[in-house]
Chain A
């Protein structure tokens, strides 16, 4: 006898991801899932971005790593609230790990949360964390063929970054060919060519990121101040 199921394999993870997203939404937090291969510059991008946020915007970081605290210590050294998830060799973060990490952070005091995934262009693509934006970081020394080889990862990106632009002249990295590979699987994601080291190209990425925050905020249900436009089901207390 055949029993039809039609259920996503990761539906249990997806359910927790939806809870995480709801929790972040209600606290007004924009969560950014930063994915890349090891060494592409995930931590560098987070630090370079946080360092350029407008005053008053409060960042926090969840650091995913196989075992070490190296990246978390780097972030903490900048005075940024950070919590570490060690996956114990696991190759990706999942939504329950992020749920546990959120318990360690002052969520109501965060405006923008960066979640640094485990360095890997394969596995993290399958696991929704409850984030709002998936940002994939590639870097010049890795070569321009990454979107062709890891289409699953680039397909789900909301933005793609090419880091280490300061060494473009040394490597045979064809930006147009790279971008064409992204376009094969992803019509919409902007591609930002930048260098976290020199800061070139960072402004365009920051502008885009902050604009997403505005988009997310305007998508929120109306905040009830003085009851104008109030939905009867909402409390004005």
Chain B
């Protein structure tokens, strides 16, 4: 539900970075999103397509790099990836003392900009 303000932030960070670098069109935005952050990728892309219209980021692809969360068993040391809903039991030893770490990533990692005169996606010359 909070994807709209999040998408607005992603767009403004990307546009500012492109402007700062004197770049033209933004063709991709790379995001790092933790598995414990409740973000629906499709929903962000949906809002992005609307919000980016008429900006240098119009048509850009959002790439979601998921940052996994891991559970470590304090009894046998087994480490494994987890996603919500979490489970309280170690699959290796049945131990109940697990600790979850990571999975909180929530960042714009980089943008990819097109510094050619032609847009490779459409091959239409930009004004």
Contacts and interface: CB of A to CB of B under 8 A. Distances in A.
Contact of A8 (B84, B87, B107): B107
Interface string B1-37: 1100110011011100110010100000001000011
B17 A155 contact: no
B104 interface: yes
Given A5-B110, A9-B106, A184 B38 contact: no
Interface residues of A, number: 38
B21 A152 contact: no
A235 interface: no
Nearest to B8: A12
Interface in A150-182: 150-152, 155, 177, 180-181
B107 A151 contact: no
Q: Which of B85, B98, B112 has the largest number of chain A CB atoms within 10 A? A: B85
A234 to B, nearest CB: 36
Majority-rule SS of B interface residues: mixed
A12 B31 CA distance: 16
Contact of B86 (A9, A151, A177): A151
B108 interface: yes
9 closest A-B pairs by beta carbon, nearest first, are A123-B2, A91-B1, A152-B36, A122-B38, A148-B85, A148-B86, A149-B85, A4-B110, A185-B100
Interface of B: 1-2, 5-6, 9-10, 12-14, 17-18, 21, 23, 31, 36-38, 69, 71, 84-88, 96, 98-100, 103-104, 106-115
